[in-house]
Amino acid sequence: MAIIVSLLMVISAGVGQFGQLIRTDIDVRSAALIQWADGDKKRLQKVDEFTKMCLIGKPVKTVDGELRPLISIEQCANSNGFEELLEVVRQARQAIKSYAWPLSLVAS
């Protein structure tokens, strides 16, 4: 019974940390994009478009009304001219250097 309780605690902590990691990734990415824009209205507009199109995303309706599945952030950025913002996002992700235990057991 103690093993089951211990296992549930580790799993629970891991799930909680994974949720926190996702939130941290979103926050770091947003901060990096805002810093890149540096208050410039055109850049802020570009960040807004990039966020709506590539970071939030949604299935896209085709001409015949069918829904296409979501594409990756990289595919979206490359196909919509957001390569510079893609690089900002990639660099922001590198700001997260390490993960706490037990997430560090599975995250790289």
Query: How many C-beta atoms surround the C-beta of residue 73 within 10 A?
Result: 19
Residues 6+ apart with CB under 8 A from 28: 92, 93, 95, 96
CA dihedral 48, 54, 56, 62 (to 10 degrees): 120
Write out residues in the chain with pLDDT < 50, as ranges: none
Give the pLDDT confidence score for residue 47 in this predicted structure: 95
- Averaged pLDDT of the chain: 84
- pLDDT of 81-96, one tens digit each? 999 999 999 999 888 7
Give the pLDDT confidence score for residue 30 in this predicted structure: 93
Report domain extents, the chain.
Answer: 2-105
Residues 93/108, Cβ–Cβ less than 8 Å: no
